[in-house]
Chain A
Amino acid sequence: MKLLLVTSVDAWTRSVATIHHYAATARANGHDLAVYGEPKPELPGLPFTTELSGVDMALFVMQVPGDLPDMPYLARLIDTVSRKKRAVVDLWGRYNDTIRLEHDFNHLEKLDGHLGWEWEEAFRAISGTLLQPTLSPLRADVGSFLFHGYDAGSVVRSWDNAAAAASAWRASGTDERPYGVMYVGSNWQRWSQVRAFLEGYAVRREKVGQACLTGWDWGERPNWAIDKGLAGIDTDPGFLEDIGVAIGQGVRFDEIVPLLSKARFAPVFHRPLFRHLGFVTNRSFETFHADSLPVLMLPRDFVEAVYGPAALALVPDGDIGAHLSDTLDRPERAWDALLQTRAHLARQHSYARRFQELAAIADGQA
């Protein structure tokens, strides 16, 4: 399969890690994959091309308007790769009615200058195959394609059994694992969830160890959000200081899993819009590559459907502090859940499987 990914890639943001997994999987399985555009020296692991002949599928990976190529590349692409060989995976739920949840949204003109109809018209013009990373798209004309995936080969430290894993985890010292909790992700529509988590964590923080938030804008509410009057990019520096939370800046995509592995626990949060839409993200799966115990701050039905039933043990039952404390006391149960979940993800959500799904989508278009 000759797959062309049409998107912007940036070492610091969005889906660049997933794109790297696609490139590696393509190499390993004899597929021909490239990102459309000129080479980017800062991303040597990605093949780029502007050659359009023989493309089986051009998958537009859409998050922001900048994911579309500039002219004249855009016209060349649209004029060369026929509509039936194009597909859109709408990673941010743009192809929906306008949704407002808490402070979150899928369309906001004052942020990016675009109204909902522009997204819809653009996506329909690109392709009749519209996909979203959810098991249950809201619209009948949207297909399910999770896009992101799990790569067993990227797991930092593999274990045959939970007891050994738990033993090593318990024994790890502060040099190896300086944090009790590590969250990597930028401050974007997650503060209410992060705060609730940290309030629960704070009760047991001496036992759990220091928490760290790594990403943009956790230290203070950014000026651009103030200027635009955007809520949802909130923080509380005093609260974070009181409970000793370390603040880190954004990191490159290839530093995330090693960073998560420096903590005993790695919570997974999905912004309100994605929770509502049942969307997965790169971090939904990538967290399971780390040598850390995921804490799934996600709806239980979503967890069971995506991660499998064993993963329910990784979902706190209301009391975050108790969940962390109990896991520290008896980590074998959580590690057993983690290993079972990794096996489930390897079966159900591997990148090889994503290629099979894409091939089936391409066959359906033919």
Chain B
Amino acid sequence: MNILFVMKHRGNAGNTHAVADYMRVGERYGHRIAMYGEKLPWLPELDFSTDIDAFDKVVYLFESELYRVNKLQEVALLGRFARADRLIFDMDGMYNPLIHLDNYDRNHSHQWERDQWIEFYDTLADKVMKPTIAAPTAPNVVPLVFYGYDPSLEMASKDAPEKVYDILHVGHNWWRWKEIGGEVLPALEPVRERIGEIGFIGLWWDKPPVEGPEAGPWQAFASDPAVVDRMRIKITDAVMYNEVVRTMSSARINIFTQRPVLHHLRHLTLKYFEIFYADTIPLLMLDADHAAAVYGPAARELVLPGRVQAKVLDALERPEHYRGVVEDVRRHLAAHHSYERRIEELVAAMRH
């Protein structure tokens, strides 16, 4: 089956990376996966196409904005792919009731905005896929994790870069500060002298987006530069998707956080998986049951909430123990979340 993804492609974003994985794995099974658009010189390994007749199905992948191709392209796609051949992936939980979590994260700012999204989705396709392990919330909603795990991408210790960080967080500051500034950093500050370099790699940790309010609600980018400075946290710009694992591997510990609304909806993201490719000890800001559901029971050992300081220090002191835990998780991921399985699930969803 030939599947065309219509999505906003950004070299430093997880969904682009995931589709790149689909391209790679799909080829082995005789499927062609491509993104709609002209070839981009800075993403040479990605298959882009505007030859819509070469595809059987189209997948519209939406994040936190209704990514739109231009009108001429839009009508060409709508005319080419019948409604039954279109599928939506709702990556950021927009196809849900209005959710506001503790006056902080939310899927929509207003009910009218939510209604527009629902109308848009319902008009475009019959089925909405969600990358979640939660039960479907409506008859037309299909949980499909979307992201997968490919053991061949695991970075061996011998190939890993030198460990220049003790702790690293790779990801943008997009609805993260409540967790980072509210729990992680306060727990580490008292023991800061016992920890080596701490790095945050991604955008908006030290300042909000230059676009201003157009980029999104200010709470999403909130941070405290004074704390960042006081704790000597090294801020570095985002890296391209194909550099993420190597970058993570430059730290003994990587801290995983997830946007609260997506955690609430039990959405999985690419980061759930790629952090386990890295030669590092992932420590997870997830509740233990959810971590076990995704990663298997061994992952309970890696969760941080309520014990950040103790867990970080323990991981730094007993790395071999944690490497064993990580291996258990990797085996679970390979068995339950392979891209082969994901491709099968995607193709099956397309056929029904």
Residues on A close to B: CB < 8 A? Answer: 65-66, 68, 71-72, 74-76, 78-79, 83, 113-114, 117-119, 121-122, 124-126
Given contacts A75-B124, A117-B50, A126-B75, 7 further A-B contacts (CB under 8 A): A72-B120, A72-B123, A74-B71, A76-B123, A119-B72, A121-B52, A121-B73
Within 8 A of A (CB), among B76-103: 76-80, 82-83
Residues on B close to A: CB < 8 A? Answer: 50, 52, 68, 70-80, 82-83, 119-120, 122-124
Q: Which residues of A contact B80 (CB under 8 A)?
A: 125
Chain B's nearest CB lies how many Å from the CB of A362?
A: 19
Chain A's nearest CB lies how many Å from the CB of B123?
A: 3
Do A72 and B76 touch (CB < 8 A)? Answer: no
Interface Cβ pair total, 8 Å cutoff: 64
Do B68 and A118 touch (CB < 8 A)? Answer: no
Once bound together, how far apart are the Cα atoms of A215 and B80, in whole Å?
Answer: 40
Chain A's nearest CB lies how many Å from the CB of B172?
A: 28
A125 and B124 in contact (CB under 8 A), knowing A65-B70, A72-B119?
no
Chain A's nearest CB lies how many Å from the CB of B17?
A: 27
Residue in B72, B79, B123, B124 whose beta carbon sits within 8 Å of that of A118 in the complex: B72
Do B71 and A65 touch (CB < 8 A)? Answer: yes
Q: Which residues of A contact B83 (CB under 8 A)?
A: 79
What is the chain B residue whose CB lies nearest that of A65? B71
Chain A's nearest CB lies how many Å from the CB of B84?
A: 10
Q: Which residues of A contact B124 (CB under 8 A)?
A: 71-72, 75
A122 and B73 in contact (CB under 8 A), knowing A72-B119, A78-B79?
yes
Once bound together, how far apart are the Cα atoms of A119 and B73, in whole Å?
Answer: 9
Q: Which of A72, A113, A119, A124 has the most CB of B within 10 A?
A: A72
Once bound together, how far apart are the Cα atoms of A356 and B124, in whole Å?
Answer: 35
A79 and B78 in contact (CB under 8 A), knowing A72-B124, A121-B52?
yes
What is the chain B residue whose CB lies nearest that of A66? B71
Do B120 and A125 touch (CB < 8 A)? Answer: no
Q: Which residues of B contact A83 (CB under 8 A)?
A: 79
Do A113 and B75 touch (CB < 8 A)? Answer: no
A121 and B76 in contact (CB under 8 A), knowing A65-B70, A113-B70?
yes
What is the chain B residue whose CB lies nearest that of A67? B71
Do A71 and B74 touch (CB < 8 A)? Answer: yes
Do A122 and B68 touch (CB < 8 A)? Answer: no
Q: Which residues of B contact A71 (CB under 8 A)?
A: 68, 74, 120, 123-124
